[in-house]
Amino acid sequence: MTDIGFIGLGIMGRPMAEHLQAAGHRLFVSGASKAARDLGAAGATACKSFKEIAEKSQVVILMVPDTPQVESVLFGKDGVAEGLSKGKTVVDMSSISPVATKEFAAKINALGCDYLDAPVSGGEVGAKAASLTIMVGGPQKAFDAVKPLFEKMGKNITLIGGNGDGQTTKVANQIIVALTIEAVGEALLFASKAGADPALVRQALMGGFASSRILEVHGERMIQRNFKPGFRIELHQKDLNLALESARSLAVALPNTAAAQQLFTACVANGGGAWDHSGLVRALEQMANHEIGSK
């Protein structure tokens, strides 16, 4: 069994940590959140700092919101880097900047430790079901050592290449997801405004070439008006910022990604930063002066 430090016990981090704990691994956590208390009641060890977590763990896993938080956890006062010793491994499962990831990896490598960027896709549902897709960047040896832990949290686990490539893959994933949500929203809004039953339209489309996981899950959310977050708009907006910033540096035009970002921004402006990202449809509905399913 592996001694694991787990930092970031949010909507997705908590169930991921619980799967590792259920598999018999010893967990080290920090904070006074309910998730930390519950994991502690089940046997996890509470630590006073990220440094202490790193000192007591063989593998330190991060699952925090954005690049600045990863940097702070790793390199801030009493951070992970201060508690690392040669031979340990840092695994960042957050979704952050590929450029910053390469910088962070180099600093951790200089301490004699391995670094894997391993962002995930699948949302809260996938985290709870241990069915996440995990996209990994880093050395093969470190990947092979950590893969048994990944297998407790996900199903589709792929080593893409070197450090940063996992984050690049996640950015590509978020482009596809955002544009597909937008397409599903447009299609169901069109059908509803034209007078068709959007639930039956969705049912019919699920049997054809337009079928997708997003039509299945988020199409249903749009029809049922269930925008309780599995993955918040503000987080997807952050991921598209990474896409657009990287695209500018590569001189790549991403016009539809930029349009989807504007729709997310419209949702945030109307108080929707914490909506599920399927709530993007609300921006489309506002422009059409029509809500899916309304008469």
The residues that are catalytic are: 170
Q: How many CA atoms, within 13 angstroms, populate the side-chain half-sphere of residue 277? A: 28
Number of Cβ atoms within 10 Å of the Cβ of 100 = 18
Q: How far is CA 137 from CA 118, 170, 258, in A?
A: 6, 11, 26
Nearest to 56, CA basis, from 76, 79, 27: 27
Distance between CA atoms of residues 64 and 8, nearest Å: 5
